[in-house]
Chains A and B, each alone.
Chain A
Amino acid sequence: MPSFPLFRLMLCCIIFLQVLPACSSLPVYSAPPQGITVKPCTGITAGAPFAPDPLGTRLAIARDGITLFDVSTGKSTRLSSDDPQAVAWSPDGRRLAVVLGGEGGSRVRIYDTTGTVLGSTTGPGAACALAWHGNGEVLIASLELKAYSFGANYRQLLLRWDGSAPPVTTELYNSTLRDKVHKTLAPILDRLFTVALSPYGDAIVYARLQDPPAFSPHLRFIVRNLVTGGEREAASATVTSGGAVFGGHDDVIWYGDGETETVLLDPWQEQRLSTLPQPGSSLAASPGGMTLFVDGRLYQNGRLLLTFPPDAAGTFSADGTRLFVRQSDRLYLVSGLPPDPAPPVPADKRERLLTLRQWRSNGLITPAEFTTAAEGGGHP
C-alpha cells in the first residue's frame, strides 16, 4: 500500500496520461466549460469553405470537390468534383448554393442533397460570397475588376438569383483602386467583400473597399435595405477586418475593426454597445447574436468560453447550439451551446416592422421615430 502522497502523485500521473492524448488532438487552449464539448469532426482542404446545414447535422465541405459530411454517422457523400469557393445552405436545408471557380469567371450552382444540379448561372464578375434570401432566392456578392495601367476599376455587385431566370444585378459600388493598392490587395479582394443577411431578411451588411487618394485603403460597412436600396454607412475598419455580421436581436451588427477590437454597434443610433478585445479578422455570430466566435475565441454574452488558435474560422448552426470550427485542415464541432436562434418576429408585427425599416432606410423617418413606431406607436 503506497503512502498517501505517493498515491496522490500516481493519481495525478494517471489523470494526466488520460487527458493528454485528448487535449493533444484538439487545438483548444483551455478545458471547455461544463456542458460544452469539443470533438474532431472531419478533414477539409485548408482554408476552404464549409457550411453546416440549418440543423447542424450535415456539413457541406470542400474536400476533393464538394462533399456532404454527416456529423452523426461520419459518412461522406461527394456531390461534385468541382472545388467550391463558397457554399450556403437554403434555410430549409434542402438545397445548397455553391460558387465554383473556372476559366472565364465563376459559376454559381444550386444542388439538392443528392448532387443533382437544380440551377446554374454565370453572372457578371467573380462571385465572392453567398447568402440565401428565404428558400427561393440566392444573394450573390460579385466583384468585377478591370485592370488598367493606372490601377483598376473596382465594381461591387449584388446579384439576386431565383435559381432559374438570369440573376438581377445591382451595382453596390463603383470606384477606382490605385495600381499599387490593386496589386497589393489582389489576392484577398474576394475575401474582403463580405455580405451578411439580416435576421429580418430585408437588409444586408456588406463591406465596401475604399481607396481614397490621400489615405490608406480601408473597409466601410454598409447596411443596405434590399427593398428600397437605401444605404447607411455603419462603421469603417482596416482591410484586415473579417467583416460585419448582424448581431441577432434588434438592428445591431458585430464588426471587427481589424486592429484592436470587435464592436457591437447600433448603426441607426450610432452607438457602440459593447466591445471585445479582438481585431475581428475572423468573425461568426450565432443567429441570435448571443454567442460570438472571433479570432478563435468563443464568447457568450461577453464571457470567454473557449480559445482556439487565432486563425480558426467558425460557423454556427441555425439554432446556435453548435459551432463548427475550421483549424488548418481539420473541422471540429463545439456542441452543447445554449440555443440562440434568430429572433422571431411576431407575424402580426412583421409587415409593420418591415415597412418602418424601409422608411428608415430611405431617411423618411428618424431612428427615434422608428423606435417609437416599432414599439407600437404613441405618435401625437
Chain B
Amino acid sequence: MIRPFIALAMMHAAVSVATAAPIGDCLPCHRGETPAAVRQWEASAHARAGVGCEKCHGFDHEKIVKGEARVTMMACAPCHKRAYDQHHRSRHGMGLHTGWGCTRGQTGRNPQECSFCHEEGSRAPLTTVQCARFLKQSDEMRGNGCNSCHSVESSCASCHTNHGTDLKIVRDPASCAKCHMGPDHPQWEMWQTSLHGTIFATIGSQSGPTCQTCHMAEGSHDVSVGITKNSGSIPYPPEKAGPSRAAMLTVCSRCHAPSFARRELERDDAILRQSLSVLKEAEGVVWDLFDRGMLDPMPSQRPPHPVSGQTLVTDNQMLYEDTSHIERLLFKMKKYDYARTVKGAYHQNPAYTHWYGNAELKMDLVDIKAEASRLRERGEKQPAGTEKMSPAAERGERLRLLKKKLERGGITLGDYEREKAKVLQELDGATTRKE
C-alpha cells in the first residue's frame, strides 16, 4: 500500500532536483530578459552573501512567469526576523488591512489577490479586511492606485525595491514619498518645505532630520513609534498616547531641549483638537440632513456602500464617489484638509498647517453649511399635493432629530433634556389653548 507513495516521493525529489535553478542557471537568460534586476542583484548584499534567485523566487519557473510566485515578506522574514517583527507590529504592517477588500462576486477581480486572505482552496478568510474605497475601484486602479502603497504590509520590496539592497534607497525620504505625498497626507512635502527639510537639503543629514530619523529611529522598522493618533488623525486614548508621546520626545530630545519639544507637540495637540471640533461640526450637519431625509441623493437612492449598504457613512470607510455633493465636501474636508492641518502641525510646516489645512478646513465648513441651508430650504418646501405635517407630528419629528443628535454625540445630555422639555412644554401650551 505504501509503495506507490514512496515511488511518488522519489519521482518528486527527482523532478525537484531537475528543476532546481542555481544562480548560474538564471543569469544567462535573465541578463537579457531582465537586465536591471540582474544588475541590481549583482550589486546587492544578497549576491555577496550567496543568496540566489531561487532562495526568494523558488524553483517553479512556470509559476514565476505566470506571476503566481510573488516574493512576499515571508521570504525575507527567516533571515531578517528583527526587522520583520518590528514592521509587523507597526502601522506599515497593517497596510493591507486599511486598503484591501474581498472582491468575491465582483466583476473584473484579480484572483491572485485571494491569497492574501485565503489559503489555497479555502473560502474561509484568515483575516477580514474590507476597504470600501478599494472595493469601488476597477481591478487596474486597485493594482496601481491601492496595492502599490498598501502592499507595504506584506512586501519589503515596497520600500527596499525588488532586487537592490542598498540602504541609500531606503534612507532617502524620497522612498517614503511614493505613498506619503499628495492631497490626503503630504508628509513628504511638509517635511521637505519645513525647516527640518531645508536643513537636510542645505547642510545635510548630519543636522537635518529625515523621515527615517524621527519615524525609524536607530533603523527600527516600527514606523509607528511616537505616533499618538490613528491613521485618520483621531487621537489615541491617553493610556496608549502617553507611552508613544514619551518615545517621540526621546527622539526630539536628541536635537532639542525636552521642554521645547514637549511644548511644540502640546501646541500641535491643541491644533488637532480644535480642527477635530470643526470637522465634527461639519459631520453633524451632514448627519442632521441625513436624519431629515434631505441628502441629495439619499443613501437609499444610490448604489449601496460596499461595506455598509444603503446608509450614510462618514467614518474611515467614507467614499468620494456615489455620494451627495455635501458628503463629497465633507470627504475633502476630512481626508485632505483636516489631515493637512494636523499632519502639517506635527511636521512643523506652518503653510500646510494654516493655508493648505486650517483655512481650507474652515472654508469647507462654510461651504457645507451653505449647502445644508440650500438642502434644508428645498426639503422644507411643501411638495404640491402633499399634506402639511400636523403640529404633533412636527414636534415628534423634532424629538426624533434630537434623539438622533444625542446618539451620535452631537448634543450634550443636558442640552438634549432642555430641548426635549421645550417640546413637551409646547405640547402643554397647545393642549391648554385647545381647552
- Chain A residues close to B by CB (< 8 Å): 348-349, 351-352, 355-356, 358-359, 362-365, 369, 373, 376-380
Contacts and interface: CB of A to CB of B under 8 A. Distances in A.
A377 B424 contact: yes
B405 to A, nearest CB: 12
B253 interface: no
11 contacts: A348-B434, A349-B431, A358-B396, A364-B399, A365-B424, A373-B424, A373-B428, A376-B431, A377-B424, A377-B427, A378-B428
Interface in B401-435: 403, 420-421, 424-425, 427-428, 431, 434-435
A363 B424 CA distance: 14
B421 A364 contact: no
Interface residues of B, number: 15
A376 B399 CA distance: 19
A349 B427 CA distance: 12
Contacts of B399: 359, 364-365
Nearest to B422: A379
Contacts of A380: 421, 425
B118 interface: no
B427 A355 contact: yes
Interface string B379-396: 000000000000010011
Contacts of B395: 355
Given A377-B424, A377-B431, A379-B428, A362 B392 contact: no
Q: Which of B392, B424, B425, B427 has the most CB of A within 10 A?
A: B424
Q: Taking chain B's interface residues, is the majority helix, strand, or loop, or is none over half, making it mixed?
A: helix
B400 interface: yes
A31 to B, nearest CB: 51
A373 B403 CA distance: 18
B425 A379 contact: yes
Nearest to A380: B421
A364 B421 CA distance: 11
A376 B435 CA distance: 12
B396 A359 contact: yes
Contacts of A356: 427
A355 B425 contact: no
Contacts of B420: 364-365, 369
Contact of B427 (A348, A352, A362): A352
A267 to B, nearest CB: 20
Contact of B424 (A351, A358, A362, A369): A369
A364 to B, nearest CB: 4
A356 B425 CA distance: 12
B424 A379 contact: yes
Given A359-B396, A377-B425, 17 more contacts: A348-B431, A349-B431, A352-B427, A352-B431, A359-B399, A362-B400, A364-B403, A365-B399, A369-B420, A369-B424, A373-B424, A376-B431, A377-B427, A377-B431, A379-B424, A380-B421, A380-B425
Contacts of B400: 362, 364
Given A364-B400, A364-B403, A373 B392 contact: no
A379 B419 CA distance: 12
A356 B399 CA distance: 11
A364 B435 contact: no
A364 B392 contact: no
Nearest to B431: A352
Contacts of B425: 377, 379-380
Contacts of B427: 352, 355-356, 373, 377
Contacts of A358: 396
B391 to A, nearest CB: 9
Interface in B218-253: none
Contacts of B403: 363-364
Contacts of B434: 348
